[in-house]
Amino acid sequence: MAFNFSHFDFLENRKGISKLSKSLFKKDIKDLKSIEMSEIVSLYENPVKNNRYRNPERAKTRAEYLNQTYIINSKSKK
């Protein structure tokens, strides 16, 4: 998965998670919040459908869903 994230073409000349993180959030990956990581995962899932500029409502809804899933799963493992 790490190889795929670091080489995935997220479109708009943003190849790899590092470039995407800098482009969208102006942050290093290690400084991202869970909702920001969720947005990246949603873009990985479908970079056109979940693009915040092309489909802002869908992108927001999908990122929020993935973030909630992450939070629920994190709590259940404690």
- Give the CB-side neighbour count of residue 78, counting CA atoms within 13 A: 6
pTM for this model (two decimals): 0.85
Rounded to whole angstroms, the Cα distance separating 31 from 49 reads 25
Give the H or E element holding residue 60.
helix 56-76
Q: DSSP assignment, residue 9?
A: B
- Residue 11 confidence (pLDDT): 85
The domain limits of the chain are 2-76
Q: Could you say which residues of the chain have pLDDT below 50?
A: none
